[in-house]
Amino acid sequence: DSGVTQTPKHLITATGQRVTLRCSPRSGDLSVYWYQQSLDQGLQFLIQYYNGEERAKGNILERFSAQQFPDLHSELNLSSLELGDSALYFCASSPHGGKYEQYFGPGTRLTVT
Amino acid sequence: DAKTTQPPSMDCAEGRAANLPCNHSTISGNEYVYWYRQIHSQGPQYIIHGLKNNETNEMASLIITEDRKSSTLILPHATLRDTAVYYCIVRVASSSNTGKLIFGQGTTLQVKP
């Protein structure tokens, strides 16, 4: 158990819909990262938040957005969903930005039908 | 961040040492070598990291060559539960840097009875 929790574990939705994935970091960790893992793209970094502010962006689509709240939990919002958005979405946390290792949650499996 | 090269797959007999190589010939002086693993569809798990000295923890040992252009992750007594994809990642470890991880294809380690 990494101490990072993600909800829901599974999500099945239709194309065009919008979903929200939630992540609670380890106690005391200020950084939250989101990664997407699809069969054809592997593990890809999406976005990082540090203490409520966006720190880095990766290959995140404009239809996707994220935020980190004052209690440090984070949400990843995916809208206008397409079949290709079906993937595992992982959240990770670390105490600070780039200095420490990251601890990953169990992931949310999103299926778009 | 420096690019890494890993063999796509390796086998290891249960109880024997698993030695996973990684080439990072373009590594910079301030870049660390990190190892993570992912057991089938679970969240990636941090294993170990190092700069230039060899490192050991309860999970594994990391051997970095003197010129730092390659490294080897050693699992001293592999078990079936060590079957996973192992990722070698090279990046700067600094509080001022983003901590995003760039995952390659990794090495799929199959531990056989």
Interchain contact A30–B (C-beta under 8 A): no
Instruction: Answer whether A43 sits within 8 Å of B103, measured CB to CB.
Output: yes
Interchain contact A45–B (C-beta under 8 A): yes
* pLDDT tens per residue, range B36-78: 999 998 999 999 999 998 999 999 999 999 999 999 999 999 9
Take residue A105 and report the two structure tokens written for it. 């949650």
Out of A56, A99, A106, whose CB is closest to B42? A106
Instruction: Answer whether B38 sits within 8 Å of A43, measured CB to CB.
Output: yes
Most trustworthy range by pLDDT among A9-13, A36-40, A94-98, B40-44: A9-13
Residue B81: phi, psi to the nearest 5?
Answer: -70, -10
Sign, CA torsion A51/A57/A61/A63: positive
* pLDDT tens per residue, range A53-104: 999 999 899 999 999 999 999 999 999 999 999 999 999 999 876 667 899 9
pLDDT, averaged across chain A: 94
Cβ under 8 Å to A: B residues 63-92: 87, 91-92
